[in-house]
Amino acid sequence: MPNPFPGMNPYLEHPEMWPGVHHWLIIEIARLLSPQLRPKYRVAVEVRMYETTGEESLLVGIPDLIVKGSKATTQPEQTSIAVTQSPTHPQTVEVPVPITIKQGYLEVREVATREVVTAIEILSPVNKRPGKGREKYEDKRNEVLGSSTHLVEIDLLRKGQPLPVYPNNRETHYRILVSRGNRRPKADLYSFNLPDAIPAFPLPLKPGDNEPLVDLQLLLNNIYDRASYDLEIDCQQEPVPALAAENTVWLNTWLTEKELR
User: Residue 204 pLDDT > 90, yes or no?
Assistant: yes
User: Residue 71 pLDDT > 90, yes or no?
Assistant: no
pLDDT value of position 58: 34
- Render pLDDT for 224-259 as a digit per residue (tens, 0 to 9): 999 999 999 999 999 999 999 999 999 999 999 999
pLDDT value of position 203: 98
User: Residue 65 pLDDT > 70, yes or no?
Assistant: no
- Render pLDDT for 34-56 as a digit per residue (tens, 0 to 9): 999 999 999 999 987 767 665 44
Mean pLDDT (the chain, rounded): 87
User: Residue 63 pLDDT > 60, yes or no?
Assistant: no
- Render pLDDT for 101-149 as a digit per residue (tens, 0 to 9): 778 899 999 999 999 999 999 999 989 999 888 998 999 999 999 999 9
Point out the least confidently predicted range of 83-92, 106-115, 201-210, 228-237.
83-92
Full-model pTM: 0.82
Point out the least confidently predicted range of 65-69, 89-93, 144-148, 161-165.
65-69
How many CB atoms neighbour CB 224 within 10 A? 22
